[in-house]
Amino acid sequence: MPPISQTKKSSKTKQCDLTKRLLAWYDIHRRVLPWRDPKGKRADPYRIWLSEIMLQQTTVQAVGSYYRKFLALWPDVKALAGAKQDDVLAAWAGLGYYARARNLHATAKIVANEMSGKFPLTAQSLRALPGVGGYTAGAISAIAYDEKQAAMDANAERVIARLYAVETPMPKAKVELHALCSALVPERAGDFAQALMDLGSAICTSRRPACPNCPWMSDCKARKRGIQELLPVKAPKMVRPLRRGAAFVALDKSGAVLLVKRPEKGLLASMLEPPLGPWEENFPSSARALKQAPFDATWKKRPGIVRHGFTHFELEIEVYMAEVANHPKLICHSQPSACGKRSTRGEGNPGVKHRPGSKDLDSLPSVRETRASPGMTRWVNTDDLRKVALPTVMRKIVEHALDTGGLLFSLRKP
């Protein structure tokens, strides 16, 4: 049996060999991305931070146009800090998980006003910023400063799980995977982090991984056992409960739509929406829905429904539309996410876990039949709806009411 010191030396040599092969592969096959600087050029922390916040739970394909738009509007952190939150939310509209946009703006203000426009140099310090968790802090510090951090996104976790054949189910396996990856991080920490991301995206994919093209194929324990497509082991999916309600889209004679600003905290905070009724287990009857309308008018229910998925629940909305000659005074406006005693934690996350197969809506934030006072209202011309902070689900509702066939999205420019 070899001495312990010799075993450790052999393991370290193996780790260095794995790292060298991955970086050699990356130097040839690295992806060209809007936020990725050419080889040899030091990354801009502002751009890395901006891209990593946008990439949280969002694909590279979806982020590209938003990233370029944000840079054009706010080329540095001081410019972003000086922007109005409503403008930031409007530019973010359609990208989802809107708490990220609010945290983005809050962080920009902190960095610009309290840190002289310079981002913290370490992952530990970065984690103190709003919206920056463990992975994001590690990715920023590694890519921007080459700090030896294991940036473990879903791609990296998949690669490491297969390389070492880790069969512990997610998310319990995260700690083990992070430790295994940390042991591999070299001096070129930023390139290593991006190499893992690229390898997982292009080669070590969830289905049908291109193992013959992988620089780690000969060392992959999962491949040797023929279980690469089974890893990482995922936890059972939770069934998301279904909530239903009514929305009211009013159109004036100039072609403007009535929108209301949501509360500053909770689901879709500070975003715009058409007036809504409460979200409950069943759709309201037509008579009940009309009592939830923001004002008296000839409301007509549109055929069909609007469906949208939030993180922890599904939503179905029946849409009522009315055309008005003048701007009537609002009687009331429901704010389903603001009602009840319990608050939400993030976009569509009611802060509770649901059992598989459960349809119990009692565990979600409650809603009241009585409606809240109107929030800040505005009439927005349909030609300008693409320019305001209207989240995807609300765009769907307006499109359904106006029968645009997705016009708000098709006309949206990067």
How do residues 30-89 score in pLDDT, each as one tens digit? 999 999 988 878 899 999 999 999 999 899 999 999 999 999 999 999 999 999 999 999
CA angle 47, 49, 52 (to 5 degrees): 105
Per-residue pLDDT at 11: 78
Location of structure tokens 């300008």: 384
Task: Look at 83-92, 101-110, 242-251, 367-376 and tell me which has the smallest mean pLDDT.
Answer: 367-376
Q: Express each pLDDT in 199-231 by its tens digit.
A: 999 999 999 999 999 999 999 999 999 999 999
Confidence of residue 351 (pLDDT cuts 50, 70, 90): very low
Task: Look at 22-31, 37-46, 279-288 and tell me which has the smallest mean pLDDT.
Answer: 37-46
| Positions marked active-site | 52
Query: Is pLDDT of 357 > 80?
Result: no
Q: Express each pLDDT in 290-316 by its tens digit.
A: 999 999 999 999 999 999 999 899 999
Domains of the chain with CATH codes: 4-230 (1.10.340.30), 242-410 (3.90.79.10)
Rounded Cα gap, residues 324 and 329, in angstroms: 12
Task: Look at 90-104, 169-183, 394-408 and tell me which has the smallest mean pLDDT.
Answer: 394-408
Pick from 296, 219, 302, 304: which is nearest to 19 by CA?
Answer: 219
- SS3 at position 414: coil
- SS3 at position 20: helix
Chain centre to alpha carbon of residue 345:
14
Task: Look at 181-195, 344-358, 376-390 and tell me which has the smallest mean pLDDT.
Answer: 344-358
- Cβ burial 108-136 (10 Å sphere, 16+ → b, else e): bbebbeeeeeebbeebeebbebbbbebbb
Which amino acid belongs to residue 208?
A: R
Rounded Cα gap, residues 37 and 26, in angstroms: 14
Rounded Cα gap, residues 393 and 94, in angstroms: 9
Per-residue pLDDT at 403: 83
Dig out the tokens for 28 from the structure.
Answer: 């040839």
Confidence of residue 285 (pLDDT cuts 50, 70, 90): very high
Per-residue pLDDT at 236: 86
Write down the mean pLDDT value for the chain.
Answer: 86
Q: Cite the beta strand spans of 172-326 per DSSP E.
A: 242-252, 256-261, 272-273, 300-301, 306-309, 314-324
